Chains A and B, each alone.
Chain A
Amino acid sequence: MAGNVWVLAEQWRGQLSDITYEVLALGKEVATALGVDLQAVLLGHEIKDLARSLGEANSVLYLDHTALATPVPETFAHALTFAIRARRPHVVLIPLTNVNWELGALLAAELEVGYVNACKDVRSEGGKLETRSLLYGGKMEAIVNPGQSPAILGILPGVRPTDQGRADAMPPVEELTVDLLETSSIRWKRYLEVEAGDIDISKQEVLVSVGRGIQSRDNVALAEDLAGALGGAVCGSRPVIDQGWLPLSRQVGKSGVVVKPKLYVAAGISGAPEHVEGMKNSDLIVAVNSDPQAPIFNVAHYGINADVMDVLPTLTEAVHSRKEVKKHAA
């Protein structure tokens, strides 16, 4: 029997991350193509209940151990190695976020098998796997056929829509007892929460940036609402900072901060080179501008040719309602 497709269910501080569902959705496709089962693997301590949210998988394998209560990567790698050796899956999909960043590479080293990093897609045809990795800052894609089994694959966020990996079913849960020694060389101490004080916009994952098109200080609140809904922060172009609508620490561009968030919403910003210099490397740029010719549209991935005053509130609304739906689903 060919081994199953495994998805490591990423949990952090007792919560499943969104990427888990994205990778589950991908795993489902791969498993179906290979004609095997999709199994979610849950590692941790006293988090068995999370299995209930993993309906997309055919079954859930659950490893509970006190040593897995704290995020020590090596312990997780040992546990997963143990499970892989015990159950011999064919493919192991690891969500690639800063929770499990080094896990795939560690696993592959321990198991002495190959590892493919930064996969933006995985397909399977005629029993053969084909992965597509994003390299060189997104400037190249490499296609690799991981021949060995198990194939350990690190999967980038956003491979499939989150919703595609959610299902209401209650999958069977199987517990695998694992004998783990807490590594003596790394001791977990604690989490340091985000400090108060003005945020550092270069460290934000989501930025809503406003330009002169926002027109008044009061309207900056519209951007703040959207940023709040998306879990990000507000920043701006120089004229907005000059006006004193936002502090200098929020200025993006040549004489401000260089940012590289996952999402940059440019609202009412023309896209002057001095501004673009500070944000062009953002992963996803969405521009809202009433001028269809605005140069910002040459930098953005998605453009909305409309009035910011209309778009921002509507978008905030839409984001909120989606979150509501998601909460209900969970």
Chain B
Amino acid sequence: MLPDPATLPYLGMPGYFHLWLLTFVSFFVFGSRVLRHVRVLAQARPENRWDHIGKRIGLVVTNVLGQRRLLDEPMIGVAHLVIFWSFVAYATTFFWNLLRGLIPALAISYPDDVGWVAFCVQALGVLGVIALAVAAVRRYLFTPVSLERSWDAAIILLLIAIVLLSALAGAGFRALAATGEESWRPLGGYLAVIFASLGVTRWQAPTLYLWTWWVHMITVLGFLAYLPYSKHLHLLASPFSVFFASLEPGKMPSASEGASQLEEFTWRQLFSGLACAECGRCDRACPSFVCGEPLSPKQFIHRVKELVLASSGSPAAGNGKKFLGDVVRPEDVWACTTCAACMERCPVFNEHIPLVIEMRRKLVAEGDVQPRLQEAFTNLGRYGNSFGQSERKRAVWTQSLDFKPKDARREAVQWLWYLGEYACYHPALQGITRSLARTLRSAGVDYGILYEAERNSGNDVRRVGEEGLFELLRQKNTATLQQARFNNLFTTDPHVYNTFKNEYPDLNHGRHPVSHYTELLAILLECRQLKVARKLPYRVTYHDPCYLGRYNGVYDPPRAVLKALGMELREMPRSRRQSFCCGGGGGRVWMEETGEAHSRPSESRVREAASLDGVQYLVVACPKDYVMFTDALKTTGLESKLMVKDIAELAEEAVTA
């Protein structure tokens, strides 16, 4: 018989007495620390995240239990999956052990006494140790960008290793001490052989087993107390953070005056800080960070964590530094393109963009807006476009067409074409706009435009934090749309697409579906309303615009068009949900360059495209992309290697004989 660690006396008191003491201390420290965090969150603004419970549970299943996003980086993803599950197993047996240890009178066996449980736990333990080794090697020898080789990380890895190894060793000593009846526990038995060969006798084994049991329990109890202030708070917080994730990640935070201090953020925004695992995935995906802009989404979240911890340490803490201004600099806040790459990757579903938006709103409310951006705002308010051009010039692009597009304000049309300001005003894009106008006409699409009544949709204005101006634009646009007569709406601009689709309730409730022109082209090609006169023998690659792809999941129609036109598509390494922003979103086109960056996202992107074998065209489906990438081809000297083409141009080329 093995000794029962809980009933044996130590220092004159029975084991369970010590266990009670330790458990009490550990749980008390843990509980009070967690409570402090919760109290801080309670000071924050409310935000309802209790809707659609079913969906939320689904999220937890795929992303906590299934660890889906971690698998985006396969090697460490699998390792983490293993560590996670062995952790779950050990957590379960720990509580089982604890229960049994605290109340020896309870007539249940220790988990290790149950054969299949012991087997599973031991198997996971071994895999876990291997996975930990992989994680350690990655972190310390092949350190990826934005992963820190911190003490905290080392302590955690070590603690987990101790937990796993102590349990495994315990199993070995058990097997050694035990009679033949336990020999079917293959791992324990195998370890027993090893221990025996190291000279451990059967008589020593029970004592050693006792010690490993205690080491295991004390380590876990210590871990528990340590957890709430460590980076591995994510162990505890991440299931909640996934459960309370935003179900519409592209959605803007609800109306606010912006945020610059704790109470002005919502609890979920602050919670991001606590859930962060400091894994650096967001940084590695962030176009601004990668190019050396003064923005690191990870740091950003970390600052929020520090904000929470500082306040949970002592209530009115603060070292006189302003959170927005000194800790988080306005430059950081302005550098975000709102591309959502960070949010798409973050394994714990942290919400970077809402934080950025809240702080931008604050800066805007305080009038802390750089001159160029101010000018854009003024132009948008006054002329409805950021180019500062008269609205009467909005339709100049139609002048060199040999027909006049219908005016949807005057006559009813099937399709209302909302162009967006780039397609209307930018000289480099007007030709493409005409291409689309001709192509759709040749397909017999009954469409019309709004001429000078079209205004900026406000998508980017909103993302810059000028909510009032967005509201103004939305009101005016909604009124204009109400006067127009049309069934469906399509747009050239993914930014317009996003906000019309998701942020113009009147438009949607008014049963006018919104499409992107690539969706329309895909349908026209599919039902042969648009006939391809000649297949285009090009090898091309396609760039997914943030606001079409990640924001709205439109990945396939543009590809379907390319295919229907006869082109061979080569995907870039970063495509679809991992697409890499051109750098022009979120109002970035209206801002001055700070000079801190060492390159531009658009340059990184055209290099990526140019590295594909034999690819002639970088195909785009967003007017801003066209401008950003043609410029980047110039600055990278890749003009001779690659050209930027809009899907509309290619469509026209293929349909005209």
Contacts and interface: CB of A to CB of B under 8 A. Distances in A.
Do chains A and B directly touch (beta carbons under 8 Å) in the complex?
Answer: yes
A295 B428 CA distance: 11
Interface stretch (B550-558, B560-568, B587-595): B587-595
Interface string B376-408: 000000000001000000000000000000000
A239 B634 contact: yes
B426 interface: yes
B635 A248 contact: no
Contacts of A254: 372, 589
Contact of B426 (A255, A256, A258, A273): A273
Interface string B160-177: 000000000000000000
* Contact size range, A: 10 to 19
A248 B593 contact: yes
Contacts of A324: none
B427 interface: yes
B263 interface: no
A295 B592 contact: no
A274 B593 contact: no
A273 B592 contact: no
Contacts of A242: 635
Interface bin, chain B: 10 to 19
A240 to B, nearest CB: 11
B428 A273 contact: yes
Contacts of A239: 634-635
B631 interface: yes
Interface in B348-379: 372, 375
Most chain B CB within 10 A, of A212, A239, A242, A251, is at A242
B634 A256 contact: no
Interface in B594-621: 595
Contacts of A273: 426-428
A26 B635 CA distance: 50
Contacts of B426: 273
Contact of B592 (A212, A256, A272, A277): A256
Nearest to A249: B595
Given A239-B635, A242-B635, A274-B631, A255 B428 contact: no
B contact face: mostly helix, strand, loop, or mixed: helix
B392 to A, nearest CB: 15
A221 B595 CA distance: 23
Nearest to B376: A254
Interface string B543-585: 0000000000000000000000000000000000000000000
Contacts of A251: 593
Given A239-B635, A242-B635, A274-B631, A255 B591 contact: yes
Interface in A250-280: 251, 254-256, 258, 272-274, 277
Contacts of A295: 427
A295 B430 CA distance: 15
Contacts of B375: 258
A235 to B, nearest CB: 15
Contacts of A248: 593, 595
A258 B387 CA distance: 13
A254 to B, nearest CB: 8
Contacts of B427: 273, 295
Nearest to A298: B427
Contacts of B387: 277
Nearest to B592: A255
A319 B12 CA distance: 104
A202 to B, nearest CB: 10
Nearest to A212: B634
A169 to B, nearest CB: 51
Interface in B617-657: 627, 631, 634-635
B593 A255 contact: yes
Contacts of B635: 238-239, 242
A327 B631 CA distance: 46
A14 B644 CA distance: 60
A157 to B, nearest CB: 27
Nearest to B634: A239
Nearest to A243: B635
Interface string A25-64: 0000000000000000000000000000000000000000
Interface string A215-246: 00000000000000000000000110010000
A251 B634 CA distance: 17
Interface string B421-457: 0000011100000000000000000000000000000
B570 to A, nearest CB: 28
A258 B634 CA distance: 22
Contacts of B589: 254
Contacts of A272: 428, 631
Contacts of A258: 372, 375
A277 B389 CA distance: 11
Contacts of B591: 255
Nearest to A273: B427
Nearest to A202: B371
Interface in B310-348: none
A239 B627 CA distance: 15
A79 to B, nearest CB: 41
Nearest to B425: A273
A103 to B, nearest CB: 32
B596 to A, nearest CB: 10
A167 to B, nearest CB: 47
A248 B589 CA distance: 17
A203 to B, nearest CB: 14
Nearest to B427: A273
A273 B634 CA distance: 15
A251 B372 CA distance: 13
Interface string A198-217: 00000000000000100000
A41 to B, nearest CB: 42
B425 to A, nearest CB: 9
A238 B627 CA distance: 14
B347 to A, nearest CB: 34
A83 to B, nearest CB: 45
Contacts of B593: 248, 251, 255-256
A258 B635 CA distance: 21
A277 B589 CA distance: 13
Contacts of B631: 272, 274
A61 B208 CA distance: 116
Contacts of B627: 274
Nearest to A248: B595
Interface in B1-25: none
A242 B636 CA distance: 10
5 contacts: A238-B635, A248-B593, A254-B372, A255-B372, A273-B428
Given A248-B595, A256-B593, A295-B427, 19 more contacts: A238-B635, A239-B634, A242-B635, A248-B593, A251-B593, A254-B372, A254-B589, A255-B592, A255-B593, A256-B592, A258-B375, A272-B428, A272-B631, A273-B426, A273-B427, A273-B428, A274-B627, A274-B631, A277-B387
Which A-B residue pairs are the 3 nearest by beta carbons?
A248-B595, A255-B593, A273-B427
